[in-house]
Structure 1
Amino acid sequence: MNPVNSDSTVPATLADLLPDLAEVPESLLDDVTLESFLGWARDRNITLYPAQEEAATALAAGDNVILATPTGSGKSLVATAAHFIALAHGKRTFYTAPIKALVSEKFFSLCEIFGPDKVGMMTGDATVNGRAPIICATAEIVANIALRDGADADIDQVVMDEFHYYSEPDRGWAWQVPLLELHRAQFLLMSATLGDTTWLEKDLEKRTGRTSTTVSSSTRPVPLDFHYVYTPVHETVEELLADGKAPVYLVHFSQREAAERAQSLTSLSLLGDRTRSKERKAAIAAAIGDFRFSSAFGKTLSGLIRKGIGVHHAGMLPKYRRLVERLAQQGLLTVICGTDTLGVGINVPIRTVLLTGLAKYDGVRHRVLKSREFHQIAGRAGRAGYDTEGTVIVEAPDHEIENYRLRQKAGTDPKKLKKLRKKHAPEGRATWSESTFTRLTTAEPEELVSQFRMTNAMLINVIAREQWTYAALRDLLRGNHDTRAKQNREILTTVDLYRGLLRAGIVEEYPADTPSGKDARLTRDLQRDFALNQPLSPFALAALQLLDPESPTYTLDVISTFEAILDDPGQILQAQQRARRGEEIAALKAEGVDYTERTAIVEEITWDMPLREELEQAYEIFCGTNPWARDFRISPKSVLREMVEKAMTFSDLVATYSLARSEGVVLRYLTDAWRTLTHSVPPEHRSEELEDILVWLGELLRQVDSSLVDEWAAMSDPDAPVSAEQVAEHAFGVGETPRLSSNPRALRRMVRNHMFRHVELFALEREEELAELDSYLEFAPDWPAELDAWFDEYDDLGTGQSARSGDLVIITEGEEPRTLTVRQILDDPAGDHGWVFLGTVDLDATDEAGEVRLRSLEVIRG
């Protein structure tokens, strides 16, 4: 939907059509508001479906609405109507979604529709335009506000997208709490897969006093055609293309499978005949423009999309996902290989969904998809306004495909059929069949299941209310959607939590008119979102007092303290563990240790955990006076610290641990580390070295993908709206990456790191990695010869604190324009300091690459 029209008579934003409350009588306001919205839609050639108009009419009348219509039936337009209706009444409206990426996407979309001044965002990390009348927020934000302020919260309307997350075991509480507490609010609950909601409709009416209307429809704007096939994926894709069923989204249940599938499809002709292919390639190249593929996977993705193949999953850099979405919206991609995250509001228009299976590993076990999951994914097929029907294909398991082909080969000969040696399903993994497929296509979504639970953070938020009463907690515990038996268990849990807060002195009691004769209040101030944005930051701050400022590793120890409170980046830690185990196995083999003993030793090895014992002891002490901290866990690790110690770039980290398919995970973790250290480390603990590292890390992140860093920077003023330029940039593509040379402090740090990376690899005698590091140079040093010469003269090469000293790196202006000269002095055991790595930094090439690029490098022997 594009709110800007070339016709000058059309308002620039929907907010311009808001009725004047001083001129429109209250009795006519609902009708005028609804007609204004419908007129806005008509001006944009949008015709509302009956269900959309029914829902919008009910919202205008003040009803709660449960919108249970199929995917692709325009729920977003109903949400827009809800926000418009709330604004017309001078009310404040919140949009919630399960993931931050979807909240961010909706934020920029609503900025386009209503204007940036009318829209804000709260994600727990930061806030932008927080006093705006329309707020986009994660469900946990709204739940925390509801707990803290109850019915007095400054929320008049809540639009909950993907409401089926109500049933998520870990997060469902956040979808339930607003329903329990915000009695004044109007609710719009939206999902394609809700099941029977009669009980929810009645519950909402009882709590809010509003009529509650369920708007449901089984009729899709674009009907679906389901098929179960016994052909291998590449053959199925070829048949779909021949039948004109592109674009096709191939659904996988791991990022690795999605990336590997994309590579395997490059042998197919996906862009049509020679003439058509040439035109499509030119169109793709034009759409890509000067977009920079700056990482290892980026180079792979560049080759894939130029062949009409997209990749889309959460492990990718955000800028790559946005590029794939943009190319898909322009109809330039034939096939997109992705994961089942397609089911969570991803904006990828497609005609055909091809599921490569019906079973997934959910983090606990390998199981068949639930009906809700299947329909969320399948419902993405079919593009309204383009397709008369969407196609959903499900692949049979590999063993079934092989058996089917054997039967086809045997024909009707009973002897041959009897002799068939059928393949069996792999052991220990869930499998599926055509009957599974048939059941899922017709099954209703599972019933919503209450996931209410009480935690210390929730309890503190309730006690923090200005008018906290016994009744508020009683209503929350007895009024939630759990069974009586589960409520009883939660009450016992809450009593234990409450006693812990009393013992810790966080809560104190005072006489009051309650059944017990007492009420409670907090003894200290806690920020409103303390449980959302790095909740263990107070622990990290306390733990800093245990560090020795005179220690040569002090800055690194500060980093490790805060890394311990960050969420674990699973892919990185597992890769680090594999690498450490591999090194240990090699060493044990060399020592002649037998296999059984090697296996036992290696099982004990994990990733590096700096300060583990000290931090765990400190955490136990901290929890004694801050029992809410037990809702969370510390997790020592060394990702940023390792990068600093080994002078690694983003590319180095990705290459060292083979993380090309998880670059997005790496970026998010490093962004969280940068943001947390920047925001949380107090001045007295910020050494010049740490400031240097933060400047370097911020620039490194911008060069890789500026979207996350810039988004946070845009939110640094919580009361300021984003600019129209930022909205346009987000909507139409990633903006120009800033030149690395424009940040001299970060550049100098990167040059130092680049040269010290050579020292590290030289000390470890990694001549192949040195050659790879300098592979772009026309004349690189003869590293094997240089290594022989060094170790003929010295037994070792220093790489410790003294070797990393700024005194051993001299950076000056180069003799030629746009160059720097850098001398890296090697730290030999004798202290001669005669050997030097002498390099010339090419600033133009550095800006283009987003990483340091040398024009020349030579080794000067002492």
Structure 2
Amino acid sequence: MRIDLLEAFGLDPNVIAILKQKYGAQLLPIQERAFKEYQILNGGNFLLSAVTSSGKTLVGEILALHYGSKGKRVFYLVPTKALAEEKYEQFHEDYEKAGIQTVISTHDRREYDERIEGRRFHIAIIVYEKLHSLLVGNPKLINDIGLVLVDELQYLTDEERGPVLEVLLTRILLNPKQPQLVGLSAVLDKSEALAQWLRAKMIREDKRPVELRQGVFFDGKFRYREFNSGLEGEEEWFPLKSEREAGQYVETARYLVEDKGEQTIIFLPDKPTTEALAHHLSHALNLSPADGAIAEMNALEESVSKDMLITFLSSGVAVHNADLSWEERDIVERYTRKGEIRVLCTTTTLAVGLNLPMKNAIVAPLRWKYFRDTRSLSKERILVSDYENMGGRVARYGFISDFGRAIFVTSSYVDYKFYYDHYVKGPIEEMT
């Protein structure tokens, strides 16, 4: 289905022109079904449960623009401030010229809160917890909203953000002036039950537009299972020399980036680890400097991260973590998309929402978890859903045409067997 045909469903021609310039002329299967088969622009609650890179985010974007172009207000809810900043900049830059006013509200960004309270906006990008806080102070704030769009709805299963999101959704569902409620989610085990609770029709998509090879690099070979086809195979790579995890990541990145010429993202459990590995990579790899990124970084005010980033960028490497300012993150993301940054080290918590032209994701198997009962932090294995989400950051439609890889790296047969059976072949966790 051509994107032009959305005019027949009531979408503003000016918005369509911008969308065509950004995304091309054709809609993906889930997008065509949402607009043509399910008539999502006509109202009603919906749950779009789909694999990463399937196109569900664009459905939400078009819905928000549809409401905004008609002067109606939208709450676009996201789980993290990093994703809120990314969405705000995207909407502000792309659609302000079409007369659509976008604002942002996080615990750090309060400058638009007065406009939100006064209903002087079209689209408000808000972090879950912040909207909950705003509604506690002003319960009637939801009354004048036409659409509530909830991105990354799978966070309902998250121990930290899930309870707040559940309370927020309950408040919206019980409101007598209930707006259209649309959730965007990764594929969940009990998505039908969730759709029933939301009083929503479900639109599901289990196929990625670009194939993803999920697997483990062990004993000189990358053994994988393809996400779409389910076929298993192996690629002959090289024997690992290092016994240390960091050394193995450096060796693997060198092979993928230098030998194969493929951009690679590495997901790690915390900020110090991203910076330490980026330091190792910047000395170990022979890559061209990210000159454009360095020039822009030099023009920024001094910060705790600036000098470190410039050092890494001199070797075509960067970090992406919560210590970076918005301006620094923006430079890193833009020059990754331009291809100057060849290796990106990031934290697992920033896996959500990143849309970058990566071919490979190297995934660390551990993450930090806060235990409320003991008030302590401890490392635990990532969830299958974490692995799916991190792997979903690569082989993005429009960037990669053949396939991408989501890679565990190990020299232990026991770990290889566990990673392959549990993460590559195992089911995603049930939603409780």
- TM-score range relative to shorter protein: 0.7 to 0.9
Does the aligned pair in 1 maintain the 2:214–2:406 contact within 8 Å? yes
Q: Does 1:394 align with 2:408?
A: yes
SS of the aligned residue for 1:234 comes to: helix
Q: Does 1:154 align with 2:144?
A: yes
Describe the shift of the 1:126–1:151 C-alpha distance in structure 2 as closer, same or farther (beyond 3 A).
closer
Amino acid at match of 1:199: A
Distance in 2, Cα, partners of 1:134 & 1:281: 35
Does the aligned pair in 2 maintain the 1:358–1:432 contact within 8 Å? no
Describe the shift of the 1:435–1:111 C-alpha distance in structure 2 as closer, same or farther (beyond 3 A).
same
Structure with larger Rg: 1
Q: Does 1:163 align with 2:153?
A: yes
Partner of 1:350 in structure 2?
358
Q: Does 1:136 align with 2:119?
A: no
CA-CA distance at 1:79 after TM superposition: 1.6
Partner of 1:222 in structure 2?
210
Amino acid at match of 1:216: R
Does the aligned pair in 1 maintain the 2:256–2:263 contact within 8 Å? no
Distance in 1, Cα, partners of 2:35 & 2:278: 42
Partner of 2:110 in structure 1?
126
Q: Does 1:60 align with 2:41?
A: yes
CA-CA distance at 1:261 after TM superposition: 1.1
Does the aligned pair in 2 maintain the 1:100–1:138 contact within 8 Å? yes
Partner of 1:438 in structure 2?
421
SS of the aligned residue for 1:220 comes to: coil
Pick the aligned partner of 2:393 from 375, 380, 384. Answer: 380
What are the Cα deviations for residues 420-452 of structure 1, in whole angstroms up to 9, with x where unaligned?
Answer: xxxxxxxxxxx9443333321233432333xxx
Amino acid at match of 2:190: D
Amino acid at match of 1:163: L
Distance in 2, Cα, partners of 1:289 & 1:152: 40
Describe the shift of the 1:435–1:34 C-alpha distance in structure 2 as closer, same or farther (beyond 3 A).
farther
Partner of 2:431 in structure 1?
448
Q: Which has the higher helix share?
A: 1
Q: After superposition, where does 1:459-474 map in structure 2 within 5 Å?
A: none
Runs (5+) with no aligned partner, structure 1: 1-16, 20-28, 206-211, 272-276, 405-430, 450-862
Aligned residues: 378
Distance in 2, Cα, partners of 1:118 & 1:165: 27
Describe the shift of the 1:170–1:226 C-alpha distance in structure 2 as closer, same or farther (beyond 3 A).
closer
Distance in 1, Cα, partners of 2:274 & 2:77: 29
Does the aligned pair in 2 maintain the 1:284–1:306 contact within 8 Å? no
Distance in 1, Cα, partners of 2:202 & 2:387: 23
Does the aligned pair in 2 maintain the 1:146–1:181 contact within 8 Å? no
SS of the aligned residue for 2:144 comes to: coil
Q: Does 1:185 align with 2:199?
A: no
Partner of 2:75 in structure 1?
94
SS of the aligned residue for 2:11 comes to: helix
Q: Which has the higher strand share?
A: 2
Amino acid at match of 2:262: A
Partner of 1:817 in structure 2?
none
SS of the aligned residue for 1:383 comes to: coil
Q: After superposition, where does 1:487-526 map in structure 2 within 5 Å?
A: none
SS of the aligned residue for 1:240 comes to: helix
Pick the aligned partner of 1:172 from 162, 167, 175. Answer: 162
CA-CA distance at 1:281 after TM superposition: 5.6
What are the Cα deviations for residues 81-101 of structure 1, in whole angstroms up to 9, with x where unaligned?
Answer: 111232355532110111223
Distance in 2, Cα, partners of 1:265 & 1:194: 36
Partner of 1:268 in structure 2?
284
Does the aligned pair in 1 maintain the 2:274–2:347 contact within 8 Å? yes
What are the Cα deviations for residues 800-831 of structure 1, in whole angstroms up to 9, with x where unaligned?
Answer: xxxxxxxxxxxxxxxxxxxxxxxxxxxxxxxx
Partner of 1:42 in structure 2?
20
Partner of 1:659 in structure 2?
none
Distance in 2, Cα, partners of 1:435 & 1:182: 41
Pick the aligned partner of 2:341 from 310, 333, 342. Answer: 333
Amino acid at match of 2:126: A
Describe the shift of the 1:181–1:227 C-alpha distance in structure 2 as closer, same or farther (beyond 3 A).
closer
Distance in 2, Cα, partners of 1:55 & 1:243: 42
Does the aligned pair in 1 maintain the 2:54–2:205 contact within 8 Å? no
Partner of 1:322 in structure 2?
330
Identity over aligned pairs, percent: 23
Does the aligned pair in 2 maintain the 1:146–1:153 contact within 8 Å? no
Q: After superposition, where does 1:744-783 map in structure 2 within 5 Å?
A: none
Distance in 2, Cα, partners of 1:324 & 1:123: 22
Amino acid at match of 2:420: F
Describe the shift of the 1:442–1:68 C-alpha distance in structure 2 as closer, same or farther (beyond 3 A).
farther
SS of the aligned residue for 1:362 comes to: strand
Distance in 1, Cα, partners of 2:167 & 2:361: 35
CA-CA distance at 1:283 after TM superposition: 5.3
CA-CA distance at 1:36 after TM superposition: 7.2
CA-CA distance at 1:157 after TM superposition: 1.1
Partner of 2:264 in structure 1?
248
Amino acid at match of 1:135: A
Amino acid at match of 1:54: R
What are the Cα deviations for residues 819-862 of structure 1, in whole angstroms up to 9, with x where unaligned?
Answer: xxxxxxxxxxxxxxxxxxxxxxxxxxxxxxxxxxxxxxxxxxxx
Amino acid at match of 2:251: E
Distance in 1, Cα, partners of 2:134 & 2:368: 34
Q: After superposition, where does 1:607-686 map in structure 2 within 5 Å?
A: none
Does the aligned pair in 2 maintain the 1:247–1:334 contact within 8 Å? yes
Describe the shift of the 1:441–1:35 C-alpha distance in structure 2 as closer, same or farther (beyond 3 A).
farther
Pick the aligned partner of 1:307 from 310, 315, 333. Answer: 315
Distance in 1, Cα, partners of 2:427 & 2:351: 17
What are the Cα deviations for residues 517-548 of structure 1, in whole angstroms up to 9, with x where unaligned?
Answer: xxxxxxxxxxxxxxxxxxxxxxxxxxxxxxxx
Partner of 2:375 in structure 1?
none
What are the Cα deviations for residues 764-793 of structure 1, in whole angstroms up to 9, with x where unaligned?
Answer: xxxxxxxxxxxxxxxxxxxxxxxxxxxxxx
Partner of 1:112 in structure 2?
93
SS of the aligned residue for 1:361 comes to: strand
Amino acid at match of 2:181: F
Describe the shift of the 1:138–1:282 C-alpha distance in structure 2 as closer, same or farther (beyond 3 A).
closer
What are the Cα deviations for residues 312-343 of structure 1, in whole angstroms up to 9, with x where unaligned?
Answer: 11133443333221221211011112211331
Runs (5+) with no aligned partner, structure 2: 219-239, 241-247, 372-377
Partner of 1:201 in structure 2?
195
